[in-house]
Amino acid sequence: MRIVRTIADLRALLRPLRAEGKRIGFVPTMGFLHEGHGTLIRQSAARCDATIVSIFLNPTQFGPGEDLASYPRDLEKDQNLCLEAGAGVLFLPEVSEIYPTGFQTHVEPGRLAEPLCGRFRPGHFRGVATVVAKLFNMVQPDLAFFGQKDFQQTVVIRRMARDLNMPVDIVVVPTVREADGLALSSRNAYLDEDARRRALCISQGLLAAKAAFDAGEHAAPRLIEIARDLLAGVDSIQYLELVDTQNLEPLTGQVDRTAALCAAAYVGRTRLIDNVLLAPSAADSGLVLNGNHPNA
Ligand code: AMP
């Protein structure tokens, strides 16, 4: 595995691969990698000839008072995970490499960035879309892999790729969970034993609603209520919403199309997000997870 820190070195490494017609897979991350990231990298390695992983703690997607300064880091462990999962190139740019002096051009996502996390993290998806667009321009991947864990992010990125005619296929990988259901997250490192126990309420609530849905309960208010009852163990629920996966608009009646039940909650000072997909038929679920042909 090659480690590069500059865009010039990255491009020099990728040029011959592209000339040989190799299929390039890309996994953007913010580091402190876990098996969720590992799964994305493995999927890319399985489907592509070369897998590029970036680790970049992107300052523009953090708001004031958020955890940019305290975000966990362990570069040595990250390198080993990338290597073991099959990455060929690890891109580790400095902030000044990505945002040189004078930087002033951004990607402004539209309505899809407004609800859910967008409501509580103003500017977050602008920061995400901008850095992902820049990384796509640097790597020029054929496929890029994102986790369903950050559901709204996948919707915003997929829309951006379509709207800006980026020749990349966005692959969304199902959320990887601990054996007890907790969604893997770099931010789980903030949780002590007691907080982790309370954090488990989030996945328990969402998965209970999904089980009820699969057992035939399709009324949106009831599904939200089932999740909310179990989520009561967290310190505060920032949002708990059932939305249409296409436009992120709230579903209030019967769930008759693929929906996402999305939650953000605080356990102590740690903000965690999670979601489950509710698909009226298996075929719909497959569409959400795999289908993306932005330029079709
Ligand atoms: P992050 O480093 O948190 O920016 O995440 C990098 C990528 O890994 C994003 O596409 C995330 O959605 C994805 N990811 C994070 N946690 C998980 C998880 N538990 N399962 C699957 N993908 C994940």
- Mean pLDDT, range 6-29, rounded to an integer: 98
pLDDT at 286 over 70: no
How is residue 184 written in tokens? 């893997």
Interval 201-220: pLDDT, tens: 999 999 999 999 999 999 99
State whether the beta carbon of 188 lies less than 6 angstroms from ligand 1. Answer: no
- Mean pLDDT, range 73-101, rounded to an integer: 98
Describe the strand order of the beta sheet including 89-91 as a list of residue ranges: 2-4, 89-91, 50-55, 24-29, 143-147, 169-173
State whether the beta carbon of 155 lies less than 6 angstroms from ligand 1. Answer: no
Interval 189-206: pLDDT, tens: 999 999 999 999 999 999
Which element (helix H / strand E) includes 270?
Answer: strand 270-278
Task: Say how many C-beta atoms besides its own lie within 10 A of residue 23's C-beta.
Answer: 15
Calculate the alpha carbon distances from 87 to 110, 139, 162, 257 in Å. Answer: 33, 14, 26, 36
pLDDT at 16 over 80: yes
Determine whether 218 is an active site residue: no
Distance of CA 226 to the CA centre of its chain: 25
- Rounded Cα distance between 119 and 167, Å, is 30
Calculate the alpha carbon distances from 259 to 86, 90, 118, 125, 253 in Å. Answer: 33, 35, 18, 21, 12
Q: How far apart are the first and last CA of the chain?
A: 34
Helix (H, G, I), strand (E, B) or coil at 52: strand
The atom of ligand 1 lying closest to the CA of 32 is 2
pLDDT of residue 226: 98
State whether the beta carbon of 186 lies less than 6 angstroms from ligand 1. Answer: yes
Distance 273 CA to ligand 1 centre (A): 11
The atom of ligand 1 lying closest to the CA of 176 is 20
Q: Which residues pair with 237 in a beta bridge?
A: 265
State whether the beta carbon of 176 lies less than 6 angstroms from ligand 1. Answer: yes
Q: Would you place residue 281 in the very low, low, confident or very high pLDDT band (cuts 50, 70, 90)?
A: confident
pLDDT at 260 over 90: yes
In the block, which residue shows the tokens 């986790």? 147
Q: How deeply is 214 buried, as exposed, middle or buried, from its count of CB atoms within 10 A (0-12, 13-18, 19+)?
A: exposed
pLDDT at 249 over 70: yes
pLDDT of residue 165: 98
Mutate to test the pocket of ligand 1, among 75, 81, 149 (most ligand atoms within 8 A of CB): 149
Percentage of the chain beyond pLDDT 70 is 95
State whether the beta carbon of 149 lies less than 6 angstroms from ligand 1. Answer: yes
What the chain holds in terms of domains, given with CATH numbers, is 2-173 (3.40.50.620), 186-289 (3.30.1300.10)
Contact 51, 75 (CB under 8 A): no
Contact 275, 260 (CB under 8 A): yes
- Rounded Cα distance between 212 and 219, Å, is 10
Helix (H, G, I), strand (E, B) or coil at 219: strand
Interval 154-186: pLDDT, tens: 999 999 999 999 999 999 999 999 999 999 999
- Mean pLDDT, range 242-268, rounded to an integer: 98
Residue of minimum CA distance from atom 7 in ligand 1: 29
- Rounded Cα distance between 23 and 254, Å, is 42
In the block, which residue shows the tokens 């699969």? 214
Contact 173, 148 (CB under 8 A): yes
Distance 222 CA to ligand 1 centre (A): 29
Distance of CA 80 to the CA centre of its chain: 21
Interval 103-155: pLDDT, tens: 999 999 999 999 999 999 999 999 999 999 999 999 999 999 999 999 999 99
pLDDT at 293 over 90: no
